[in-house]
Every structure is written in structure tokens, then in C-alpha cells.
Amino acid sequence: MSARPVFLDLRRIRFPVGAIASMGHRISGVALAIALPFAVLALQRSLDGDSLALAGWMRIPAALLAWAAAHHLFAGIRHLLMEAGIGSSLPAARRSAYAALIGGAAIALAAFVA
């Protein structure tokens, strides 16, 4: 019997807001992990006395990184609270998912215009 197909066309699946926040949590986590070497480099440069000024082209990556840090933080706090029993009902979980997504986007915007 040949392998049976599996329906997993993610474009045809309508994800709830919690799933979107969760996806963002994972993507932001991986992005932050990739940014770790740059963080260590920045620590070294700051302790060596080198300037930490950001070049012009760094504005967009910096804003993306700010989004990653903010969203990962907010979504992470959301998870910790839900596990402690706070806001784990479906309506509350949806609201906090929106809050995490909007909060992260707001920080990213602020980082971009600052």
C-alpha cells in the first residue's frame, strides 16, 4: 500500500489568533537565537570602548530584532501567566494573544522611528 496523503495545506487552514501569536513566538525565538552571536559581539565592542552607533542600513534589521524581542517577551509572559492559571480561559487567551501581537508590533514601530 503506497503512502497515504496527508492534508496539511497551511494556506487553507484558518488559524485562531492564539496560533498566530504562537507562531510569532517560535519565529521570534529562532531570530533571537540567531542574533545571539551579534549580542556577544556588541558586548565585546562596548567593553573595548568601540562605538556602538548603528549604521543607516541597520534600522530595519534593528526594528525586526526589536519586534522579535518584544513579541517573544510578551508571548512568553502570556504563557507563564496561562500556566499559572491566569487568563487560560478561551476568551482571555484570545485577548492576551491580541495584546502580545499588538504590543510587539508597537515596539517594532517605536524602534524604527526612534
Partner 1 sequence: MRFKVYRFDPESGAKPAFQDYDVRLAPGEHKVLDALVRIKEQDDSLSFRRSCREGVCGSDAMNINGRNRLACITDVTEVPEPVVLAPLPGFPVIRDLVVDMTMFFKHYHEIRPYLVNDEPPPERERLQSPAERERLNGLYECILCACCTGFCPSYWWNPDKFVGPAGLLQAERFITDSRDRDTAGRLAFLDDVYKLYRCRTIMNCTEVCPKGLSPARAIEHIKVQLLKRST
Partner 2 sequence: MRLFSGQRAFVLQRLTALVLLAYVAGALLRLALGAPPELAAWRAWAARPAGAALIALLAAALLLHAWVGLRDVVLDYVHPLALRLAVLGAAAAALAFLGLWTALILVSHAL
Residues that bind partner 1 (CB under 8 A): 2-9, 12-16, 18-19, 22, 26, 79, 82-83, 85, 88, 90, 93
**Residue choice 76, 99, 101, 103 for contact with partner 2 (CB under 8 A):** 76
Smallest distance from the beta carbon of 114 to partner 1, in angstroms? 32
Shortest distance (Å) from residue 1 CB to partner 2: 21
Nearer residue to partner 2 within complex by CB, 57 or 83: 83
Quote the CA–CA distance of 7 and 17 in Å, as a whole number.
21
- Contact string 26-55 vs partner 2 (x = CB under 8 A): x--xx-xx--xx--x--xx-xx-x------
Q: What are the φ/ψ torsions at residue 54 (nearest 5 degrees)?
A: -90, 130
DSSP collapsed to 3 states, 59-79: HHHHHHHHHHHHHHHHHHHHH
3-state class (DSSP) for residue 15: coil
